[in-house]
């Protein structure tokens, strides 16, 4: 049984044991310990005690320890990728890439941490020194969703540690088993710098968010829970960073490389069975090329291979649980009964008696008031909508409560300019969806979140900012007595 990791030691959970399930086969892949509030107390205490010395460690020494995490990630690449595939169901090929990327992320922030602690700014007088000083916050709670249990943890953990914070990690319930295995990546760090506590979000997660010694909550997950965290963090005015749900549009202009746009729609709609926060969930296509586009997308979709992520040949992997699949099926059913057409998919594949698969689904005839166009689907469903022109597509794209990512396919620079400025999304892709960059800030607008991960912006989130004014050499003091001299 995998145990919790607190203060550099394995700890039993108060909540007993749980079984981890492979969503592709429904087989039990291992057991893990479930934590409770008592373990949150222990973990926060350990992180609090570790903080004073961790923040003072010379930058070079800290960087070396973070580079070591990157080295261990690379050394354990195959094992981690396989365990991620077993517990999430997603592709082993993609998971290898995510382990590599996680290692790069640790290397990147290890170096940023060595090079950055604020800046010197001009002072009012020559005898003075003014600094913008960046200091770590203290104990950071990192709360992680199940869809990217390693990568999204690393996006928080690497900058938080490089800034000098200590961290308590709360993995998602569906991916606790793989997450409790990460302790081997952190065993060389001083005890208490990284702690991992499992448990149900509504109990353990909430207790952690409310804990008075937690100074920041870095959260990725659903909008609903993000809103709850914002409320819980309000009393203590904790720093919060929220990466939430999305309803990303893809705009296809008549002037684009149509074949590429079709492939992009299929890739960005069905990757990880549509369980990506930046999955394409609405496609607006210029009416001039609509029929051609729809036929092409349906053809490509029909060729996709469904299977477990552990098989490198699988292109569409299972959903995480039957309950999540049912939410997707419900949106499709409701759209159909309101007049939408299902061109392919829309059902549990008859060939799969085991596993939580759902066929990749292409819809047309949808309207903006349907759930499948308004709410996050988080499953393999592509609604395709004809529009008169680019302006209409842009306006419809922005009529969403979400604003995470958006993609435009065009060869017209004038459209690109307007789109990049006016699209209400934090992640803006042109002719190439879902491409992230370690140095490029990632995050959402509107109900898709607050704050940014990655890049310099993602580093700034984990600091408190101070202005330091220092009178070094006498000088004229405005507060000197007598007042009027």
Q: Is 256 annotated in the active site? A: no
CB of 405 to ligand NAD, least distance (A): 9
Retrieve residue 462's tokens: 């984990």
Site for ligand NAD in 412-441 (CB under 6 A): none
Contact track, ligand NAD, 277-316, x by CB under 6 A? x---------------------------------------
* Contact partners, residue 303, CB within 8 Å, separation at least 6: none
Site for ligand NAD in 197-226 (CB under 6 A): 201-202, 205-206, 209, 220-222, 225
Q: Which of 24, 65, 162, 244 binds ligand NAD (CB under 6 A)?
A: 244
Nearer Cβ to ligand NAD (148/293): 148
Identified catalytic residue from 83, 277, 376, 461: 277
Contact 310, 82 (CB under 8 A): yes
Burial class (CB in 10 A: 0-12, 13-18, 19+), 217: buried
Q: Which stretch binds ligand NAD (CB under 6 A): 99-107, 238-246, 280-288, 367-375?
A: 238-246
Retrieve residue 383's tokens: 């609604």
**Cα–Cα distance measured from residue 403 to residue 425, given in angstroms and rounded to the nearest whole number:** 4
Q: How far is CA 31 from the centre of its chain?
A: 25
Contact track, ligand NAD, 330-369, x by CB under 6 A? ----------------------------------------
Q: Which stretch binds ligand NAD (CB under 6 A): 30-38, 101-109, 306-314, 443-451?
A: 443-451
Computed over its alpha carbons, how large is the radius of gyration of the chain?
A: 24
Asked if residue 13 binds ligand NAD (CB under 6 A), the reply is no
**Cα–Cα distance measured from residue 389 to residue 76, given in angstroms and rounded to the nearest whole number:** 49
Asked if residue 145 binds ligand NAD (CB under 6 A), the reply is yes
Contact 408, 430 (CB under 8 A): yes
Q: Is 243 annotated in the active site? A: yes
Q: How far is CA 190 from the centre of its chain?
A: 27
Contact 241, 451 (CB under 8 A): yes
Q: Which of 228, 272, 301, 364 binds ligand NAD (CB under 6 A)?
A: 228
Retrieve residue 357's tokens: 């698969």
Asked if residue 245 binds ligand NAD (CB under 6 A), the reply is yes
**Cα–Cα distance measured from residue 411 to residue 14, given in angstroms and rounded to the nearest whole number:** 58
3-state secondary structure 369-386: CCHHHHCCCCCCEEEEEE
Q: Using DSSP, how many helices (H) and how many strands (E) does the chain show?
A: 16, 22
CB of 261 to ligand NAD, least distance (A): 23
Identified catalytic residue from 83, 206, 243, 376: 243
Site for ligand NAD in 148-207 (CB under 6 A): 148, 152, 170, 172-173, 201-202, 205-206
Q: How far is CA 263 from the centre of its chain?
A: 24
Binding residues for ligand NAD, total number by CB under 6 A:
32
**Cα–Cα distance measured from residue 474 to residue 480, given in angstroms and rounded to the nearest whole number:** 11
Nearer Cβ to ligand NAD (107/248): 248
CB of 99 to ligand NAD, least distance (A): 17
Active-site annotation, residues: 243, 277
Catalog residues that contact ligand NAD under the rule CB under 6 A.
143-148, 152, 170, 172-173, 201-202, 205-206, 209, 220-222, 225, 228-229, 243-246, 277, 376, 378, 404, 444, 448-449
């Amino acid at each position: 049984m995998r145990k919790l990791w607190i203060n550099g030691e394995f700890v039993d959970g108060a909540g007993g044991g749980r079984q981890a399930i492979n969503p592709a086969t429904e087989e039990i892949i291992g057991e893990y310990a479930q934590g409770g509030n008592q373990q949150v107390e222990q973990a926060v205490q350990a992180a609090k005690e570790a903080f004073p010395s961790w923040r003072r460690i010379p930058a070079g020494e800290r960087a070396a320890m973070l580079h070591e995490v990157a080295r261990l990630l690379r050394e354990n690449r195959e094992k981690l990728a396989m365990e991620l595939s077993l517990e999430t169901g997603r592709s082993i090929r993609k998971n290898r890439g995510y382990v590599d990327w996680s290692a790069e992320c640790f290397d990147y922030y290890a170096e940023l941490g060595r090079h950055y602690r604020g800046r010197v700014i001009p002072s009012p007088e020559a005898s003075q020194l003014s600094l913008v000083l960046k200091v770590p916050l203290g104990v950071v709670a990192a709360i992680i969703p199940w869809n990217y249990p390693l990568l999204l943890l690393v996006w928080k953990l690497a900058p938080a540690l490089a800034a000098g914070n200590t961290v308590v990690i709360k993995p998602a319930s569906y991916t606790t088993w793989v997450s409790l295995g990460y302790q081997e990546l952190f065993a060389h760090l001083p005890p208490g710098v990284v702690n991992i506590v499992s448990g149900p979000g509504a109990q353990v997660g909430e207790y952690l968010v409310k804990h008075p010694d937690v100074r920041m909550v870095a959260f990725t997950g659903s909008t609903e829970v993000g809103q709850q965290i914002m409320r819980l963090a309000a009393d203590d005015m904790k720093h919060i960073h929220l990466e939430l749900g999305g309803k990303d549009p893809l705009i296809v202009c008549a002037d684009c490389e149509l074949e590429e746009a079709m492939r992009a729609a299929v890739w960005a709609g069905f990757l990880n069975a549509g369980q990506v926060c930046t999955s394409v969930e609405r496609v607006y296509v210029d009416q001039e090329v609509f029929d051609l586009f729809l036929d092409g997308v349906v053809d490509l979709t029909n060729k996709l291979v469904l299977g477990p992520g552990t098989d490198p040949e699988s292109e569409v992997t299972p959903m995480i649980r039957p309950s999540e699949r049912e939410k997707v099926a419900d949106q499709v059913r409701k759209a159909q009964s309101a007049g939408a057409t299902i061109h392919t998919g829309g059902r549990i594949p008859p060939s799969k008696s085991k596993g939580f698969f759902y066929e990749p689904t292409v819809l047309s005839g949808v309207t903006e008031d349907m759930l499948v166009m308004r709410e996050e689907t988080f499953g393999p469903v592509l609604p395709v909508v004809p529009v008169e022109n680019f302006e209409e597509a842009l306006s419809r794209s922005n009529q969403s409560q979400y604003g995470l990512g958006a993609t435009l396919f065009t060869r017209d620079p004038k459209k690109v300019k307007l789109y990049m400025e006016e699209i209400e999304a934090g992640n803006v892709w042109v002719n190439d969806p879902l491409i992230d960059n370690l140095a490029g800030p990632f995050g959402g607008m509107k109900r898709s979140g607050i704050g940014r991960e990655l890049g310099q912006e993602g580093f700034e989130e984990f600091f408190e900012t101070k202005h330091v004014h220092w009178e070094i050499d006498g000088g004229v003091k405005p507060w000197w007595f007598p007042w009027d001299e």
